[in-house]
Amino acid sequence: MEAAMWDHKVITWSLADTKSDKDSPFSGKVDPAHEASVKKAFDAWATASGLTFKEVADSSASDIRIGWSDLDTAETGAVGYTTFKAKKGHISSTQIRLEDPNKTALAAGATGTYAGTDATFQQVVEHEIGHAIGLGSNADPTSIMFYELGLQNRTLGATDRSGAQAIYGGAANPHGAPTASDLSLLIQGMSTMGGAPAASTAPLNPNGAANDQVLHPQIVNSSGSGFTHISLGVARAMAA
């Protein structure tokens, strides 16, 4: 099993400030009203992985930058999109793009679901953070890393915790030991990390079709710098 992973245990993150970044890929900054949900999503993965996630002022030096983007959810079903660079199996320069609520409204209240879907804002963020730490989408419907987000996978499941622990050696799983099925699904989602994409991999294009077929990462470009640019995790929301 080969996976891209962070080579340090304290991962910095920031809400992208587009006003100070003329080349930003984001359409807007995640407002403070949603910041608490982002923090909860990071906390869930911190518990599972043993990593520490630290919020910092936004800059290109942040390990993970998060911002709004126009993913055209109504047409594509996509609500989140993650990209990063990897060199010798180590992740850097990660960007998480979330569907802009100015394009697809987020319902008010505790759940904060995207209009016309069963996907909550925090659920989408948790899924994309999973990609940001090196997990691929999988075929376990109860996993937050399942390629469709709905009522059945609101937060991390056994497969997710097993995956985080397999990569980073996190805390013992309080919900039970990983089963052979858990590990099989994990390997399915991670098997092409750092290598050539599998033949069954669908195009990872947030504005394209077939996002519900994404089970593996897609290497989209390789530069002379030695970095591989990996496009990961077009999260697709189940229709409400």
Determine, yes or no, domain membership for 165. yes
Query: What are residue 235's DSSP bridge partners?
Result: 80
Residue 124 structural domain: 10-237
Q: What is the pLDDT of residues 77-135, one digit of tens each?
A: 788 889 888 888 899 989 999 988 888 888 766 568 888 888 899 999 999 999 999 99
Determine, yes or no, domain membership for 198. yes
Contact 164, 135 (CB under 8 A): yes
Determine, yes or no, domain membership for 1. no
Mean pLDDT of the 32-58 span: 95
Q: 227: buried, middle or exposed (CB in 10 Å: 19+, 13-18, 0-12)?
A: middle
Determine, yes or no, domain membership for 5. no
Domains held by the chain: number: 1
Looking at per-residue confidence, does 222 or 176 come out higher?
176
Q: What's this model's pTM, rounded to 2 decimal places?
A: 0.75
CATH code of the domain in which 197 resides: 3.40.390.10
Determine, yes or no, domain membership for 143. yes
Q: 231: buried, middle or exposed (CB in 10 Å: 19+, 13-18, 0-12)?
A: buried
Determine, yes or no, domain membership for 2. no
| Listed range (131-140, 180-189, 195-204) with the worst mean pLDDT | 195-204
Mean pLDDT of the 163-168 span: 93
Average pLDDT, the chain: 73
Determine, yes or no, domain membership for 4. no
Amino acid identity of residue 51, one-letter, is L
Q: What is the pLDDT of residues 29-41, one digit of tens each?
A: 888 888 999 999 9
- Cβ atoms within 10 A of the Cβ of 9, count? 10
Determine, yes or no, domain membership for 217. yes
| Listed range (20-34, 152-166, 209-223) with the worst mean pLDDT | 209-223
State the Cα–Cα distance between residues 31 and 171, nearest whole angstrom. Answer: 32
Contact 78, 71 (CB under 8 A): yes
